[in-house]
Amino acid sequence: MIPTNPATPAALTQLSPDERLFRDTVRQFAAAEIAPLVRSMDESQQMDPKLLRQLFSLGLMGIEIPEQFGGAAGTFFEAILAVEEISAVDPAVGVLVDVQNTLCINALIRWANEEQKQRYLPRFAVDTIGAYALSEARSGSDAFALETRATPQGDSYVLNGQKLWITNAKEAGLFIVFATIDRAAGYKGITAFLVEKDTPGFTLGKKEDKLGIRASSTCELIFRDCVLPSSQVLGEPGKGYKIAIETLNEGRIGIGAQMLGLAQGAWQHAIRWARERKQFGKPIGDFQAMQFQLAEMATDIEAARLLVYNAARLKDARQPYLKEAAMAKYFASQVAERVASLAVEVFGGSGFVKDFPVEKFYRDAKIGKIYEGTSFMQLATIAKLIL
């Protein structure tokens, strides 16, 4: 019979008391406030406004923002813990928190000038959601094949083009937009801009109807003669490629945490079902075949957790972490899809209907192998670094 109190995964014992308290606080919040909304948000394909306010109130939308700007002054590792715990309940909310913290806020902390930090970081801490706009129709894995143009015009730039598959787009108040100011310069012409949602010439296009993480908005962005003052350049002109590369490396650890949390959530539901569901007069967890399947799932999850935590610790310690981030993202996304699939099988026919949560975890898992660098791109990065 499966034990009623499975041992705490070894990686969690490495948390400091403050980290453990933070993790437990997020876990309790997710169970109490997010869990009751999961199905309704998935079906309506939108975030609950009250939940968004709660995420800000709890400080989860500004974890690494320094106290002087109204943030929690936390660590990158704490942001990863938050994404993991929230994703164990709803990966759609997990990616909202992830993009805010690991991409947008990290980009501003590292690359924004003092005036930009004073203007935007306090808003990120209180009520403004960020979005990261890099992808285009012809610019996916080939991230720098950008066609969106920013034409210099006096002390301003005029943006024209489209962005696709932009996470958080519907809710966002500030977008980090990548465009080229000189196509002949190749990747050295790419520049990052800070674009507010009400900027003339900027509109939201189609909202995607997705397989999974449906409460997370994914939209097209349209720029038609969108004029931006040069003060809205993030970093320096022509340095956008460097910003993109560095922030995406961090973001991949965040996606690893999202997929880790997803796998953990699916596994926990499978464990409960194995204890409760009876066949042939006893719980299905009493059968060795089921025990072995659940044991393999648990082992995969623990291995993914160690990879994700290690990459996050390296980042906080300012040690090289590119290879470790790629490994964490690659492996965690593989584990999430495998564990979610097996969880559906543990539930049997019940796992195939929306009345039970594992069906949604299975749909949500697929995106992990695709966004912020496909599995093939992660393997390419790993191979390059080890060779």
Could you report the per-residue pLDDT of 300-325, keeping only the tens digit for each? 999 999 999 999 999 999 999 999 99
pLDDT-derived band of residue 371, with 50, 70 and 90 as boundaries? very high
Spatial contact of 192 and 111, defined as CB atoms under 8 Å apart: yes
> Rg of the chain's alpha carbons, rounded to an integer?
21
pLDDT in tens, 270-290: 999 999 999 999 999 999 999
Region 230-236: mean pLDDT is 97
- Spatial separation of the C-alpha atoms in residues 166 and 210, rounded to whole Å: 13
pLDDT-derived band of residue 4, with 50, 70 and 90 as boundaries? very low
Residue 239 gets the label, from left (phi > 0), alpha (psi -120 to 50) or beta, of: alpha
pLDDT-derived band of residue 7, with 50, 70 and 90 as boundaries? very low
Q: Note the pLDDT of residue 80.
A: 98
Exactly one of 84, 250, 337, 372 is catalytic; name it.
Answer: 372
- Spatial separation of the C-alpha atoms in residues 142 and 138, rounded to whole Å: 8
Query: What single-letter DSSP state applies at residue 387?
Result: -
Q: Can you list the domains of the chain with their CATH numbers?
A: 10-129 (1.10.540.10), 131-238 (2.40.110.10), 242-386 (1.20.140.10)
Residue 202 has pLDDT above 90, yes or no: yes
Q: Note the pLDDT of residue 10.
A: 53
pLDDT-derived band of residue 139, with 50, 70 and 90 as boundaries? confident
Quick one: what percent of the chain has pLDDT higher than 70? 97
Spatial contact of 159 and 181, defined as CB atoms under 8 Å apart: no
CA 124 to chain centre: 16
Single-letter residue type at 31 = A
Q: Is 147 a catalytic residue?
A: no
Report the 10 Å Cβ neighbour count for 345. Answer: 14
Strand partners, 174: 130, 196
**Predicted structure pTM score:** 0.95
Q: Note the pLDDT of residue 2.
A: 39
Concatenating the DSSP letter of every residue in 198-210 gives T-TTEEEEEEP--
Spatial contact of 266 and 339, defined as CB atoms under 8 Å apart: yes
- Spatial separation of the C-alpha atoms in residues 62 and 102, rounded to whole Å: 10
Q: Note the pLDDT of residue 375.
A: 97
What interhelical angle do 288-316 and 76-87 show, nearest 10?
150
Residue 170 has pLDDT above 50, yes or no: yes
Residue 51 has pLDDT above 70, yes or no: yes
Rounded to the nearest 5 degrees, what angle is found at the Cα of 367, between the Cα atoms of 37 and 267? 60
- Spatial separation of the C-alpha atoms in residues 231 and 233, rounded to whole Å: 6
Q: Note the pLDDT of residue 145.
A: 85
Report the 10 Å Cβ neighbour count for 183. Answer: 11
How would you class 155 by CB atoms within 10 Å of its CB: exposed for 0-12, middle for 13-18, buried for 19 or more?
exposed
The greatest distance separating any two alpha carbons of the chain, rounded to the nearest whole angstrom, comes to 79
pLDDT-derived band of residue 262, with 50, 70 and 90 as boundaries? very high
The 3-state DSSP class for residue 177 equals: strand
Q: Say which range, 4-8, 16-20, 123-127, 250-254, has the weakest mean pLDDT.
A: 4-8
Region 8-22: mean pLDDT is 77
Instruction: Give the burial string for 185-219 (b: 16+ CB within 10 Å, else e).
Output: eebbbbbbbbbbbebeebeeeeebebebbbbbbbb
The 3-state DSSP class for residue 22 equals: helix
Residue 12 has pLDDT above 80, yes or no: no
Region 199-207: mean pLDDT is 98
Spatial contact of 106 and 83, defined as CB atoms under 8 Å apart: no
Query: What single-letter DSSP state applies at residue 317?
Result: T
How would you class 250 by CB atoms within 10 Å of its CB: exposed for 0-12, middle for 13-18, buried for 19 or more?
buried
Highest average pLDDT, of 4-18, 34-48, 133-147, comes from 34-48
